[in-house]
Structure formats: C-alpha cells, structure tokens
Amino acid sequence: MDLSYDPPAAFRHALDQLHATVAAEVGSDDFGAPDYLPGLTVLLQSMDYDPRFSETGRRAAWGMVVGVLRGRSQAIAAMKANPGFDARAVLSPVVITGVPRTGTTALHRLLAVDPRFQGLQTWLLDSPMPRPPLETWGDYPQYRKTVAALDAQYAAAPDARAAHFRAAEEVHECCMVLRQSFVSNLWSCGWSAATYDAWWQCQDETPAYRHFARCVQLVGLNDPDKRWLLKNPGHIQHLDLLFAVFPDARVIQTHRDPAKAVPSLVSLLMNLNGLMEPERKAQRAETLMRREVAKWAQAVRRAEAVRARHPGQVLDVVHADFHARPMETLEAIYRFIGMDIPEETRAALLRRIADKPELSRGVHRYAIADYGMSMEEAREPFGDYVRRYDLVEGRA
C-alpha cells in the first residue's frame, strides 16, 4: 500500500498527470501499445463515481494505480533494453488455477520448493525485468519498494497476514501483471467499482494475456532452461487465452466447496475494502459476496467448455484430498507434468508439508452468514459442479 502520492482533486481529469508522474519516476514515457488506455480511462472515471473513499483510501487507491502503470512502464523499458528477450518460447509451463481459496497458493508455494522450477516473484510482478541473481535482489530499489509497500499494507491491515501472506521474494499470481493492461477483475475487488466492473465484463483480455506472456519471457531471460511454474485463479475464466499464449501448458485446477471458498475470498478482500471505504463495510461485503459467487460460477462453466477442447492438459486436485494426502497429490502432479521427484526434492517437499508455514501467521476466520448468504445459496449457481467433484465436506 503506497500512500506517498497525493491524489488529484478528480481522478477522471488526471490521466495526463498520472502519465507524467510515472514517466518522471521511470525515466521513460513509453507505455507500450495503447490498448491499456480505455480500461485506465474507465477506471479513473469509476473512481470518482462509485466508491466512498476515506482520505487514506483515496490516497492508497491513487498509489495503487500509479504503481501498476509504473510496473507497465518498467516492463516496456526492460523489454527495449533486452532485445531478443522473446526469442525463446515458454515450453510446457505448469499453471495452477481454480476458484480462489481452493488451495492454489499453498500448492504453488509447495511446488516452488523444487529448484527446477522458476516463478514470478512478487517484486518482479511489480517491476518486470530479467530476474537477477538472488543474492543481488536487495541492491535493487524496485525490490526494496515492494518490501516497504508490503510492510505498510500489513501494518494497516494485520489480519491480512493470516488470510493471504505475501513476501517480496516469494512467488505470486500472474494477475498482478495482467492488471497492467487495465482490463482486469482485480480493479473491481479493492473498492466499489460497479461502473468499471460493468465495462470490464464486456471486454476481451487477449491484449492483457499477450503482455503477460511477454513479461514471463522477460523475467525468465536469464533462466532459459528452467521450467515455469505459474499460478492465477483467474485463468479458469480465460483458459482459452492461456492456451493461446502457452499452447502446451499443463494446467492443475484445484477444487473446493464454493460455500467455503467464496466467503474466504470475500473475507480476504474486505481487509482492503474496509480500509478504502470504512463507512460501508457491511454493505460492501454483502455486495462482494454475491458478485464473487456469480463470477466464479461462470468461470468454472467457461473452464469446462475450454477443457473439453484440450484433453489431457488439465489435472484436477480436490482441496480436501490435497490436505489429507499432500504427498500422494504431489506424486500425481509430477506424473502429470512428466517429471520425477529426486530424493533431495522429496525431502524438501516433506519438510515444508510438516512445517505448515501457511498456519504460522495466525488463523483466518470468517463466516458466510456475515455476508448475507447461506451455504446453499452459494452453491446453487455452480450447478452440478459441487457434485461432479464431490466437494461437500464429509468427503472420505
């Protein structure tokens, strides 16, 4: 959370100010293809119309927009500084996706223990560039800026540590690069953004996926022989676009009872929403709950249709099975992606499983009743999805 930028009097009139601020900071006025401009324009208009920001929220929201546009500009500058970065295709990346809060993060960070994988670290999502040697990261101002922003965020919202902890040096989600095209679900999740949300739902995210794929090539330039391990829940809504940029991807789709997963997501999102709009927390939480149920129910249906056109490229992992039998699940994943598990890697995986680092920062507590919906109401839009994967708790 970056509070260092003074927000404009009206966001919708600040497009030129925004570009000037970022250009001065990055030292470049090249933002790449102009396909990001329609979304950015609608977002700024929405920020004047939809939310009831607190003063802190208004400053934080502006800082977020500045930071994302800065990340885009830095990515374009790094691409220009490294001609030929996109000469090598990304071969058979392993991609984890699924409705949020279905174990995607835990699985992603567990698999990242394997040194044969490379991933998108949080600080490189904020500032895409060829990944430098690990021991030099602290020398980069971009790395230190991400560390400071995360520290500020957790100071402002301590409960977010238990819900979804992020560290600058750990792998994180593709959506943080996808949002640099300003056609992204994320812009409807941090504060009230109904105007932007209505616009976004009618858009094509193909340019965003092309930019994302180029950023993956850019970040991996110095590790051309390492296999990519990526993760993003939102890919289930755009599996067709994912396969368009990575035709031979191996996708792992996680599943959990949506009556458990979606309220967990809303609880996580409300850590930020409560800071941005403290006067409408209860109303915002109920609105988010209904939006997220509808959005992710549609996403799993879209994913099923795309999966049918890519037989053998998607492996299903049920949340309860992963937690009950993690090593058995990992063995199935490694068979699916065509890799072995060396003994040293197996030992490292077992150590992380035993350590349970996700539980070390507290317990994430939430209740669906707090969001004005019953478990049955949350499951109903998903149709036969819950039955197909046997997701109701009590599973053997």
Give the C-alpha separation, 44 to 153, whole Å: 22
CA neighbours closer than 13 Å in the CB half-sphere of residue 268: 18
Axis-axis angle for helices 326-337, 104-111 (nearest 10): 70
Q: What are phi and psi of 378, to 5 degrees?
A: -70, -35
Give the residue-averaged pLDDT of 58-85.
97
Report yes or no: 302 and 205 within 8 Å, Cβ to Cβ: no
Report yes or no: 174 and 96 within 8 Å, Cβ to Cβ: no
Confidence (pLDDT) at 3: 78
**Cβ within 8 Å of residue 198, ≥6 positions away:** none
Confidence (pLDDT) at 166: 67
- Which of 288, 280, 224 lies closest to 57, judged by CA? 280
Give the residue-averaged pLDDT of 183-198.
96
Query: Strand, coil or helix: what is 336?
Result: helix
Q: How confident is the model at residue 396 (pLDDT cuts 50, 70, 90)?
A: very low
pLDDT in tens, 304-331: 999 999 999 999 999 999 999 999 999 9
pLDDT in tens, 333-390: 999 999 999 999 999 999 999 988 766 556 667 889 999 999 999 999 999 999 999 9
Percent of the chain with pLDDT over 90: 86
Confidence (pLDDT) at 85: 97
Token pair of 55 as six digits: 């003063």
What residues does 229 pair with on adjacent strands?
Answer: 94
DSSP H helices, 53-172, are 55-81, 104-111, 122-126, 141-156, 160-163
Give me the chain's average pLDDT, please. 93
Give the C-alpha separation, 366 to 268, whole Å: 9
Domain residue extents for the chain: 11-388
pLDDT of 161 over the 60 cut: no
Percent of the chain with pLDDT over 70: 94
Confidence (pLDDT) at 11: 98
Give the residue-averaged pLDDT of 84-94.
96
- Which of 267, 22, 313, 30 lies closest to 163, judged by CA? 267
**Cβ-based burial of 201 (10 A; exposed 0-12, middle 13-18, buried ≥19):** exposed
Report yes or no: 187 and 196 within 8 Å, Cβ to Cβ: yes
Confidence (pLDDT) at 395: 45
Position 76: which residue type?
I
Report yes or no: 306 and 240 within 8 Å, Cβ to Cβ: yes
Position 44: which residue type?
L
Q: What are phi and psi of 76, to 5 degrees?
A: -65, -40
Position 265: which residue type?
L
Q: How confident is the model at residue 153 (pLDDT cuts 50, 70, 90)?
A: confident
Give the residue-averaged pLDDT of 185-202.
96
pLDDT in tens, 256-268: 999 999 999 999 9
Confidence (pLDDT) at 364: 64
Q: What are phi and psi of 163, to 5 degrees?
A: -75, -45
CATH of domain 11-388: 3.40.50.300
pLDDT of 64 over the 90 cut: yes
Strands of the chain, DSSP E: 94-98, 117-118, 227-231, 250-255, 314-318
- Which of 389, 113, 366, 361 lies closest to 260, judged by CA? 366
pLDDT of 286 over the 70 cut: yes
pLDDT in tens, 22-61: 999 999 999 999 999 999 999 999 999 999 999 999 999 9
Give the residue-averaged pLDDT of 156-179.
77
- Which of 297, 321, 324, 326 lies closest to 386, judged by CA? 297
What pairing do the DSSP bridges indicate for beta strands 314-318 and 250-255?
A: parallel
Confidence (pLDDT) at 308: 96
pLDDT in tens, 197-243: 999 999 999 999 999 999 999 999 999 999 999 999 999 999 999 99
Give the C-alpha separation, 60 to 38, whole Å: 22
Q: What are phi and psi of 317, to 5 degrees?
A: -130, 120
Confidence (pLDDT) at 365: 77
pLDDT of 279 over the 60 cut: yes
